[in-house]
Structure 1
Amino acid sequence: MSTLSDLVHAQGCLTDSDVEWLHRLAGDGQLLADLASADIVVWVRTEDASFIAVAHTRPSGAATLFYRDIVGERVRPQWRTQVQGAFESGEIVDSSSPDWFEETPTRVRAVPILANRSKNDPMRVIGVVTRHTNLGEARTPSRQQITFDECANDLFRMIASGEFPDLAAPTSPRRGAPRASDGLIRIDVDGVTTFASPNALSAFNRMGFDDELEGESLAEVTTRILPVTRQVDESLPVVVTGRAPWRTDIEARGVTVSLRAIPLRDHGTRIGAIVLCRDVTELRHQEQELITKDATIREIHHRVKNNLQTVASLLRIQARRTHSEEAREALTQAMRRVDSIAVVHDTLAQGLTQQVDFDEVFDRVLKLVAEVAAAPNTRARTKSTGHFGVLPSEYATPLALALTEVVTNAVEHGLAGQEGFVTIDATRTDENLRVTVADNGHGLPEGRIGQGLGTQIIRTLIQGELGGTIEWKGTDGEGTEVTIDIPLRWIKK
């Protein structure tokens, strides 16, 4: 399915700022649908003067009229005159009689979308939002339903005058954003509560307020229930008075409630506000646990890195005190392998996820190898091209160690006693990572692949742990090329 941006840009009639306005409106589509107990559809004009649906939201507390998604469809003939009238006149157009949709009586309201993008840019209609109300389920409305409907009408009038959505409002968080069904409080221009839904009252009761919210100043109620010693968010006063479209959390008696204020205006004059509230106590506890666990994991990686560096230092000291050239070489290689693993853990200790920017890791590993592996009479130049990308830590550690061995072999054996270069090229697709390491050194004697510990380590890591393949190519005196292919089908995109 095409996104809102794709559908709008395909029409070629609106600017990027218009698209951003529509995105913000569509982001509050669930709020409009729940308050109006109706399906909400956003339409934009096409090049042939018709209209296409670019967003659709179903009500969570009422039956939907559209069981099939209509996003991407053209406006139906029975709605076109109404939608076109709202678009051209800039006024709200209500259906004069019930509209029948699949044998269900409905009432349709078409609201022009005015974009108030800047003071220097005049407002203009950029689309139409329609409200489709199911009349087949009509029943005597409760006080809450009446209030919700009044709030919806206020927001629709603000949409038609370019006052909603509010560009000063922060974008909705992914988790914990309050909805109309979670709790709704309506306050007047003085901040006095004129309506509080049962869920909103329950949230404040859990924080220690035992009376009725209606008739009370929401700011004074909040002040009474907050502990004196607790530091208050500076945005709290403007949220509970409905003066700004902001969000904040309040906490009392171990209960955390998230608040979102939506100022209501009538042609620029503030007439009150809607305050949505949601008990997010459990959600905040989960977030705190995740933060604690993440900090613990990063500390573990930091300590592992320190321990590995200690081991590498011990190996270095032991190598210097060893008289056997063969033993010294073995200890030096072990030290280099430990250092390569430490680089990965150091990267993990700095990040907030278990994903590794392997290009950064390999740059550090490459410098380490070039400094340590070169023999006295060897001058090796290394160059890395291509892009490894982000890899999970379970890929990064064995790959870093394997590439350390491959590049080390190229420097120590391929270029032993001469000047030359080693190039490393990484090519990544959605399904595969290919790494090619080439040198212009001595090449493989008689085309044979070594059977030493380094080669065994490379095979074990690439084939055993990463499920990949490795191939050596080269002839005596003409350099060596090593190609590693690693499948990435198990990595989440």
Structure 2
Amino acid sequence: MSTLSDLVYAQGRSSESDVEWLHRLAGDGQLLADLAFADIVIWVPTADDSFVAVAHTRPGGAATLFYRDIVGDRVRPQWRTQVHDAFHGARIVDSASPDWFEETPTRVRAVPIVRSHTRDEAAGPLVIGVLTRHTNLGETRTPSRQQITFNDCADDLFGMVASADFPDLSAPTAPRRGAPRASDGLIRLDVEGITTFASPNALSAFNRMGFEDELEGESLLEVTSGILPASREIDESLPVVVTGRAPWRTDIEARGVTVSLRTIPLRDHGNRIGAIVLCRDVTELRHQEQELITKDATIREIHHRVKNNLQTVASLLRIQARRTHSEEARDALTQAMRRVAAIAVVHDTLSEGLAQTVDFDEVFDRVLRLVAEVAAAPNTRAQTHSTGAFGVLPSEYATPLALALTELVTNAVEHGLAGREGQVEIAAERSEDTLEVSVRDTGIGLAEGQVGRGLGTQIVRTLIQGELGGTIDWHTIVGSGTEVTIEIPLRWIERTPK
């Protein structure tokens, strides 16, 4: 299904700023639908002076009218005049009589979506679309005080939509997990910050934090100040939020209970008339978030310690190699030192971030520096360079790949270019299905065209074929040199999100 942006841009009548405004409004579609107990639809004009639906939100506390998705549909004939008048007249238009939708009586309100008060002196308000509220009259019953208050709040917000006061671009665009909804708890404040209405869920949330009285008639700022522990550091934004002066969010915590608050100032043609404060008990959510943060920090610390331990082991192997008189033993210890150091590079990279994925291009650049020491061997002058990109890999695949490439590059320098000058190129190519890596050298080629059976070759085969589910192929390049090609199916890699 097309996104809101796709549908809006397809009509060719909206700017990037218009689309951003519509996205912000659609983001609060659930709030409007819950307050109005009605379906909310956003329409934008088309090139032929009609309208197309670009967003739809169903109410959480009432029956929906639209059981089938209407996003992408053109406005129905029975609503077109009303939507047209709201758009071109820049005014709210209510249906004169009940509208029938699939044998259900409804009441429709069309609200112009105004992005700015004036485009210029002569043009008037800049209307970029129309919001319609579709109320199901088939389930009409005597409204409760909460429903009346919710409807009043919805009417205030619709008026703000028509006067470019809502959505508010200064409000946070990315609410944290557990953002409160109207059904979680709603408090209505007057212009002085006094509570005129508190839903049962809102009152319960404050009762759990230690407030034992009724919220109505009380200053929410004084109530909040009274329940917060004196020793706790208070968020500087809290007074502004609980007095309804800014469209911000904050958390308050008392007696082991955490309540998330979101304030929406209410305005009438720019003049502040009060505010809506949405609240939700997010104690359990915050505990879960803290546990995740703690686990992430623990994992990072483990990677850091593993890296330090591996570096210590590598240093011990290097020292032992220097004190060994046997050339064969020295070479074996040096190779082991490089293998351990290559694994340490991956853990070092993982310890720097929370994600369990690594930018393997960065890792491999550091791995190449490790094998550079080999290039400094007597009578060997090797230049190593890489082309292409590996991309981001999960840590469980980054480690065996880094170790395998260390073996291949080291082998190319030590044996392929032994006692001569040459180049080693590592080329990476990542397609949608496969990661292909080639290691080419300009050396003497494979002895008698046969792949060796040494420890390094066995390690590479085990890592590529056994752990990564890939394939590996050795062959001599026509003329001179050796090329090793590795192919790893991306389906193995994509088990872990990138």
Tell me the TM-score normalised to structure 2 length. 0.96
- Tell me what 2:461 maps to: 459
Q: Answer yes or no: is 1:14 the counterpart of 2:14.
A: yes
Contact 1:383 1:422 in 2 (8 A): yes
**1:293-312 alignment to 2 at 5 Å?**
293-312=295-314
The 1:108–1:145 alpha-carbon spacing in structure 2 relative to 1, beyond 3 Å, is same
- Alignment gaps of 5+ in structure 1: none
- Alignment gaps of 5+ in structure 2: none
1:309 counterpart SS class = helix
Which of the residues 332, 338, 360 maps onto 1:358? Answer: 360
Please provide the CA RMSD for this pair: 1.6
- Tell me what 1:67 maps to: 67
- Tell me what 1:158 maps to: 160
Aligned residue type for 2:420: Q
**1:71-470 alignment to 2 at 5 Å?**
71-116=71-116, 123-372=125-374, 374-470=376-472
Give the C-alpha shift of residue 379 in structure 1: 1.4
Deviations 1:282-341 (A, max 9, x none): 111111111111111111110000000000001000100111111111110100000000
2:491 counterpart SS class = coil
Residue identity (%): 81
Deviations 1:354-410 (A, max 9, x none): 111111111111111123454221111122121211111111111111111111111
- Tell me what 1:46 maps to: 46
The 1:117–1:5 alpha-carbon spacing in structure 2 relative to 1, beyond 3 Å, is farther
Which segment is superposed worse, 71-80 or 341-350?
A: 71-80
Contact 2:424 2:441 in 1 (8 A): yes
Which segment is superposed worse, 468-477 or 139-148?
A: 468-477
C-alpha distance in 2, partners of 1:196/1:344?
54
Contact 1:447 1:476 in 2 (8 A): no
C-alpha distance in 2, partners of 1:434/1:298?
30
C-alpha distance in 1, partners of 2:292/2:432?
30
2:382 counterpart SS class = strand
C-alpha distance in 1, partners of 2:118/2:288?
40
C-alpha distance in 2, partners of 1:197/1:249?
19
Contact 1:441 1:477 in 2 (8 A): no
Give the C-alpha shift of residue 240 in structure 1: 0.3
Give the C-alpha shift of residue 429 in structure 1: 2.4
C-alpha distance in 1, partners of 2:49/2:385?
57
The 1:118–1:295 alpha-carbon spacing in structure 2 relative to 1, beyond 3 Å, is farther
Contact 1:113 1:127 in 2 (8 A): yes
Contact 2:346 2:363 in 1 (8 A): yes
C-alpha distance in 2, partners of 1:276/1:408?
62
Which segment is superposed worse, 373-382 or 198-207?
A: 373-382
Give the C-alpha shift of residue 477 in structure 1: 5.2
Aligned residue type for 2:303: H
Contact 2:40 2:133 in 1 (8 A): yes
C-alpha distance in 2, partners of 1:374/1:67?
73
C-alpha distance in 2, partners of 1:481/1:81?
72
Contact 1:447 1:475 in 2 (8 A): no
1:425 counterpart SS class = strand
